[in-house]
Structure 1
Amino acid sequence: MTKRSDAWLRTIHMVASVEGDLGKVLQDRHGLGLSDYRALQALSQSPDSELRMQELAAHLRLNQSSVSRMVERLERGGLTVRDLCPDDKRGVYTVLTDTGRQRLNAARPDYEAALEAAVREHGCPELLAGASTGGG
């Protein structure tokens, strides 16, 4: 392997380890999967707290089927609702509810603390060296 390949493999392992730690904290403390948390976060940052299903899928880098199942779970928990696009009845939006926003806000401090701890533990603070630690 080349040095670049070795570095890439180490990076993949670090990211996977951090993701695993984040997912465990979110599931154990808030009953949210990592993709669920990221979906709520994306919706909270979107205009009117809503995204078309395909926009959410693209944002999360998930296929349409995975996002549909995830949104069904979020809806069952009262965290999102679906809404038809007024311009195109075939278009479906996922909308963040007040309950979803509260759940996201409750989980955010644990997510941020777990992220800081995991980045330190897995030896990858240089990956995030230029990132701000401000809310988001």
Structure 2
Amino acid sequence: MTATDSSLTALSQGWWALSQLHGKIETHAERALERRHGLSMREFSLLDVLSRQHSGPGGHLQMKQVAEAVVLSQSATTRLVTRLEDRGLLRRYLCDTDRRGIYTDVTETGQGLLAEARPTHDTALREAFDEAAENPALAPLVRTVEELRVPA
């Protein structure tokens, strides 16, 4: 295989399109969330992931699982949790059954902010996807993403 192999070129072009789509969407949503709610996309994502926890068996996520869900390293996730905890949006506490485990929950204030921010996030996503769909290089990816059905 050479650097000019058509399969590599196609892969490179696909990666470029995916990167462009991601960048456009994240930038648009980030601006809307920051302007209206003082939240970054990472902060919104973290609040969203943690808000979906439940008190039943396996309902709380370990920090490693949270990090994977928000696509950050564990140390970056811990720093983000600390920032949101300092703002009163999250709280950490020890697991009742394993004193080594630390859980993180969204506070009432965090739940309220998340509820206010979710429509902004969803609208920003829709706007960004609609704009990207007008670009011939991105339109196929937009259609693919819109057709995805992730199992619950």
The answer to whether the superposition gives a TM-score over 0.5 is yes
- The secondary structure found in structure 1 opposite 2:61 is strand
| Structure 1: segments with no counterpart, 5+ residues | none
CA distance in 2, matches of 1:72, 1:16: 26
Structure 1 position 68, deviation (Å) = 1.0
Seq. identity, %: 33
Q: 2:70 aligns with which of 57, 60, 64?
A: 60
Structure 1 position 109, deviation (Å) = 0.7
Aligned Cα root-mean-square deviation (Å): 1.7
> CA 1:26–1:50 in structure 2 vs 1: closer, same or farther (change >3 Å)?
farther
- The secondary structure found in structure 2 opposite 1:89 is coil
CA distance in 2, matches of 1:70, 1:62: 10
- Cross-structure match for 2:48: 41
Q: 1:113 aligns with which of 111, 120, 123?
A: 123
> CA 1:35–1:104 in structure 2 vs 1: closer, same or farther (change >3 Å)?
same
Structure 2 length normalisation: TM-score? 0.79
Whether 1:122 and 2:122 are equivalent positions in the alignment is: no
Structure 1 position 41, deviation (Å) = 0.7
Counterpart amino acid of 1:75?
E
Choose 1 or 2 for highest CA Rg: 2
| 4+ aligned runs moved over 4 Å, structure 1 | none
The answer to which of 91-100 and 122-131 deviates more is 122-131
| Structure 2: segments with no counterpart, 5+ residues | 1-7, 134-138
Q: 2:37 aligns with which of 26, 30, 43?
A: 30
Counterpart amino acid of 1:22?
A
Count of aligned pairs between the two proteins: 132
CA distance in 1, matches of 2:126, 2:23: 15
- The secondary structure found in structure 2 opposite 1:2 is helix
